[in-house]
C-alpha cells in the first residue's frame, strides 16, 4: 500500500515509519520545514495550516492510507496557547479532511489519531472505558482532540468517506520527551547515575493509575487499523490494564544500582488528577486481533537504556 504519514517527525512518526516499512508498505511522510525525518521514506514539507499545500501534497501522492499525526500534542502547551492548539488540531484537521474529500482518488482511508484524554472527567465506575462512553474533556488539548474525532465522524457520515478515529492512551518508549512520566523517571535516574544531578528523584502523584503501552505496540495497532480497521469506527488503543505510577517508579529504580532518594515535588502534583483511567480494548482486538505484547518492564528498561546512552 501507498501510505502517507502527516506529522512524521514526532515521537510516534519515526516508529510508525519503521513499522510500515517492515510490513512492506511504500511510505511518504510530511514534516514542518524546520524538522527532518530520518526514516526510509519520501519526505514532503507540509504545514497543515496551509489548506492548499495539504491538498497539493495529497493530490500529488494519491495515497491509499493517511495517518494524521500532526498536532500540538502537549496538554501543558494547550493551556498556554489555546488558540494555536485549536488552530493546529481543529482547523489543521479540517484542512486534511477537505483535502481528502476533494481528492481525485476517492478511496483514501484516513486515520485521525486522537487521545484517551478525550474521555476527561470520567464517572468513578466508568472504567474500563468503552468507545461509547461520553466525552468530558478536562483540558484544551483534549477538547480539540474530541473535536477532531467528531469532525471525522461527521465527514465519514456526510460524505461517505473512509475514516477511522483512534483514541490512543498513554504510550511510551525510547526517544520520548521527558515531559512524560516514564521518560521523566528514566532520564532522572540516568542523570543521577552519571553524577549529573544529586541522588534525589522528584515525583508527582504516585497513586494515580494509568494505562501504558509501548510505542512499538501502538504503531503496530495503527498499521493493523490502516489495513483491517472498520471504516467509520472509533478505536481505543491501549493495554487495557492500568498500573499505579508507584509501580513505574519502583520498576525503574529496580533497574538501577544507584542509591536514590524519592521526593514528592508539589509542582508535579495535579489538583484534578483522576484516580484511574483504563480503556476497554476489546473492539480493536475483535476487529484486528491486536493486543499489547511488549511488557511495561521492557518499555521502562529500554527507555532507561536510551537515556543512559543519550545524556
Minimum CB separation of residue 87 from ligand A2R in Å reads 8
Minimum CB separation of residue 49 from ligand A2R in Å reads 5
C-beta separation of 230 from 284 below 8 A: no
Residue where the block lists cell 495529497: 58
Residue where the block lists cell 492548539: 85
**Residue whose CB is less far from ligand A2R, 115 or 192:** 115
**Residue whose CB is less far from ligand A2R, 11 or 212:** 11
Minimum CB separation of residue 11 from ligand A2R in Å reads 4
**Residue whose CB is less far from ligand A2R, 12 or 122:** 12
CA dist., res. 64 & res. 20, Å (int): 13
Q: Grid coordinates in use for 178?
A: 521527558
DSSP string, 179-200: TSHHHHHHHHHHHHHTTSS-SE
CA dist., res. 273 & res. 290, Å (int): 29
Minimum CB separation of residue 301 from ligand A2R in Å reads 21
> What residue ranges bind ligand A2R (CB under 6 A)?
7, 9-13, 32, 35, 46-49, 69-73, 88, 92, 113, 115, 168
CA angle 102, 6, 8 (to 5 degrees): 165
Minimum CB separation of residue 299 from ligand A2R in Å reads 15
Those residues whose C-beta lies under 8 Å from the C-beta of residue 263, and which sit 6 or more positions away, are 200, 201, 202, 203
Minimum CB separation of residue 192 from ligand A2R in Å reads 26
CB atoms within 10 A of CB 169: 24
**Residue whose CB is less far from ligand A2R, 12 or 147:** 12
DSSP state of 55: H
**Residue whose CB is less far from ligand A2R, 41 or 71:** 71
Minimum CB separation of residue 15 from ligand A2R in Å reads 8
CA dist., res. 162 & res. 156, Å (int): 6
CA dist., res. 183 & res. 176, Å (int): 6
**Residue whose CB is less far from ligand A2R, 46 or 277:** 46
CB atoms within 10 A of CB 266: 7
Minimum CB separation of residue 246 from ligand A2R in Å reads 24
CA dist., res. 299 & res. 293, Å (int): 11
CA dist., res. 14 & res. 74, Å (int): 18
Nearest residue to ligand A2R, by Cβ distance, number only: 10
Sign of the torsion angle spanned by Cα atoms 11, 188, 141, 226: positive
**Residue whose CB is less far from ligand A2R, 9 or 192:** 9
**Residue whose CB is less far from ligand A2R, 169 or 185:** 169
Residue 4 forms beta bridges with which residues?
Answer: 28, 66
Amino acid at each position: 500500500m501507498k501510505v502517507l504519514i502527516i506529522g512524521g517527525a514526532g515521537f510516534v512518526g519515526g516508529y510508525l515509519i519503521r513499522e510500515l516499512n517492515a510490513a512492506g508498505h511504500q511510505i511518504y511522510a510530511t514534516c514542518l520545514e524546520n524538522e527532518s525525518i530520518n526514516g526510509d521514506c519520501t519526505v514532503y514539507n507540509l504545514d497543515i495550516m496551509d489548506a492548499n499545500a495539504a491538498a497539493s501534497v495529497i493530490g500529488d501522492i494519491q495515497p491509499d492510507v493517511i495517518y494524521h499525526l500532526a498536532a500540538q500534542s502537549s496538554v501543558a502547551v494547550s493551556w498556554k496557547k489555546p488558540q494555536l492548539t485549536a488552530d493546529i488540531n481543529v482547523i489543521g484537521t479540517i484542512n486534511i479532511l477537505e483535502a481528502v474529500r476533494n481528492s481525485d482518488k476517492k478511496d483514501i482511508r484516513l486515520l485521525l489519531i486522537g487521545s484517551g484524554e478525550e474521555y476527561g472527567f470520567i464517572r468513578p465506575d466508568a472504567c474500563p472505558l468503552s468507545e461509547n462512553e461520553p466525552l468530558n474533556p478536562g483540558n484544551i488539548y483534549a477538547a480539540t482532540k474530541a473535536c477532531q474525532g467528531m469532525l471525522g465522524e461527521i465527514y465519514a457520515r456526510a460524505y461517505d468517506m473512509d475514516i477511522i478515529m483512534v483514541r490512543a492512551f498513554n504510550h511510551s518508549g525510547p526517544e520520548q520527551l521527558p515531559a512524560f512520566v516514564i521518560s521523566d523517571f528514566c532520564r532522572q535516574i540516568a542523570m543521577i547515575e552519571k553524577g549529573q544531578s544529586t541522588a534525589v528523584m522528584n515525583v508527582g502523584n504516585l497513586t494515580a493509575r494509568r494505562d501504558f503501552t509501548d510505542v512499538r505496540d501502538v504503531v503496530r495497532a495503527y498499521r493493523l487499523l490502516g489495513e483491517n480497521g472498520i471504516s467509520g469506527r472509533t478505536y481505543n488503543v491501549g493495554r487495557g490494564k492500568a498500573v499505579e505510577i508507584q509501580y513505574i517508579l519502583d520498576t525503574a529504580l529496580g533497574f538501577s544500582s544507584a542509591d536514590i532518594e524519592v521526593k514528592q515535588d508539589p509542582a508535579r502534583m495535579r489538583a484534578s488528577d483522576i484516580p484511574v483511567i483504563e480503556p476497554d480494548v476489546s473492539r480493536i482486538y475483535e476487529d484486528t486481533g491486536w493486543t499489547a505484547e511488549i511488557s511495561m518492564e521492557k518499555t521502562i528498561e529500554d527507555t532507561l537504556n536510551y537515556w543512559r546512552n543519550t545524556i
